[in-house]
Amino acid sequence: MTKLKIKLRNCSVELPDDVGNFILSTGCGSGKTFWLERFILTHYMEGMLIIVDSIVSANSLYFDLLTKLGLDANDMMQIHSETDYDVMNEFANNPEEVTKKKVLIMTNVRLYTEYPPVYLLYNIDGVTLSSFDGDWKKLMNNPNTRRWICIDEIPGFIQKYASVSKLHLGVLGEDDSKGGYKAKEFVAMRKDYNTFIAHSDAAWFNTATTLGLLKTDTALSIVESEYSNMIKVQGDAVIQFSPCDFQTTKSLVLIMEGAGDVLFKDSSIYKLIDIPQKYRAKADFHSFNVPNLNRRNNKHQELIKSMVQSVIAILSSVKGKTLIACWNDFKGDDKGITSDTQNSNDITLVTLLSDELTKANIPQDIYSIIYYGSAESKAVNDFKDYSNIILLGKWSLPVSTSSEKFNKAFLTNTTLTRYMLWEYVQLITRIAIRQDMDINVFYTDDHNRDFIQTLEKYFNQNILDIPEEHIDWRDKVRKLNNGKRVVSQIERLSQRFPYIPQMIVEGKQNKTINVSLKEVNNLIGKSKKRRDYKHLISILQKFGISLVLL
């Protein structure tokens, strides 16, 4: 066992071992990237995979290693969507060349969508590549697995490797003579895939390249081994890779996340190394009111006018630059779940606010406007000299696309509140607190007060104290009329849907669970009819959970 010392701007920390899986929670602005560049310079001959949050970060790291630290361009490679065409063409047609690169820099989305052996294996003479069958233990303990795997910021943009539809399963399966279906032999699967699917809209990857063939064969290998499970799934089955697959006793897998203590709740894979004193500067929080503030408010012009008036009042009362964060648009369903995706024809709220502030002759050099969830809301340094931030409207995300998705990928017990705290911490630390300078945080009064107080404690006292985590969901259920009768049923149901207790405690979201009567009976251990679950359905409905028995 060899300890690894990491010296950052705000502290020095020691990992208990230089192999295994760790997440280092350092605080945002701690100098992680500076340390990482020097670490690469020291260890790059052993094979390194560096995962960063954006194309800008990848290009910046590559440039620094090349021009400031003197690494040879022939020893490095970048993989992202804007990599030079000739380089990517070489990658697609000669992927084994990638395994010769001492330092491989990728954007984090590639962790989910790329063929794993091409980025995880390294040998100065190259590695012969073949289809990956999903055996991560074998891959991660391959003698050619890269020695150092460093992930700078959490890869939160979780994507699937491939979707496996019933069409795919139909073409790739055959009668098992028992009234069901089984996967065909691999050779037959590949033949039928190439005949019926490869050149259709249902194709997974471009089979005209060597890399595309490897990616396709990988998907087929996993379908072959997981066919019996996939065919039971309602809708499309998903092939999903994750950093939790990187379990090894040969390499160091290190995730460096400024707010890792917030996001990684009870990780079963990664050991949390937490730096308690993350921020030395003070964050002053100030509430303000915008009349009729509601994302579903149909009187957009009136609301924008109110927003602008409030923003101008704040801008005129503070010193220094101000970052304004707002919704992307006025969309949102009837249950308060917002969407931060947009159509190219949409006029964003950012644009509308910018236009109104310009009309009011507010100097453009004293503020910037971004929308919640944008690339600028995390892992950028563009606003590090800003002294103030305005949180214009409460930001919320549906549990299905945030904490639930994160927990599935990272095997954690992160609640929706923790996930949203992480988003807010990332957003607020875009400004000067990351440089140990005091800041002002202005927030609209539609924000939950407990949530804001949790943020205040986190920044000013370095304490993470989430009130709802002291609440037992069972107590909330028992307080309802006849609630005691269904506690055990909910416990069993939660084995299949682990987010149910979290939703009962938080009570902030609405979610529909579609599940067969047979599966519920199996979970609860009794043979019942639909009408026997009326009380359970009624109790869950009080917490925003609609249980639909199919």
> Per-10-residue mean pLDDT for the chain, 550 residues long?
86 90 92 93 96 91 94 94 84 94 95 95 96 94 96 85 96 93 96 96 95 97 95 90 92 94 89 91 97 83 94 97 93 40 58 96 97 87 96 88 84 88 96 96 96 96 85 86 89 84 78 89 84 91 90
Pair (426, 533) in one structural domain: no
pLDDT value for 511:
86
Question: Does one domain contain both 359 and 408?
Answer: yes
**pLDDT value of residue 387:** 98
Cβ contact 550:491 at 8 Å: no
Tally the domains of the chain.
4
Q: What's the pLDDT score for residue 339?
A: 37
Of the residues 217, 239, 261, the one at which a domain ends: 239
Same domain? 193 vs 126: no
CA distance 40 to 46: 10
Please tell me whether residues 128 and 182 are part of one structural domain: no
300 belongs to a structural domain:
yes
Identify any residues that bridge with 367 across adjacent strands, giving them in sequence order.
322
Give domain status of residue 467, yes or no.
no
Q: From CA 483, how far away is CA 477, in angstroms rounded?
A: 5
| pLDDT reported for residue 1 | 63
The CATH number of the domain where 346 resides is what?
Answer: 3.40.50
Residue 403 is predicted with a pLDDT of 84
Identify the residue whose tokens are 């064969």: 217
Same domain, 291 and 328: yes
d(CA 43, CA 254): 14
Q: Are residues 59 and 145 in the same domain?
A: yes
Whole-number pLDDT of residue 308: 97
Domain annotation covers residue 307: yes
Which segments of 148-195 are extended strands (E)?
148-152, 162-164, 173-175, 181-183
Is residue 322 domain-shared with residue 389, that is, in the same domain? yes
For residues 53 and 179, state if they share a domain. Answer: no
Which amino acid would we find at residue 57? S
Structural domain for 266, as ranges: 18-158+244-274
In a domain, 13, yes or no: no
Q: Given CA atoms 397, 399, 403, 405 in this order, what sign does their dihedral have?
A: negative
Please answer whether residues 372 and 349 qualify as being in contact, where contact means their C-beta atoms are separated by less than 8 angstroms: no
| Cβ proximity of 282 and 50 under 8 Å | no
pLDDT score at 338: 36
**Do 253 and 393 have their domain in common?**
no
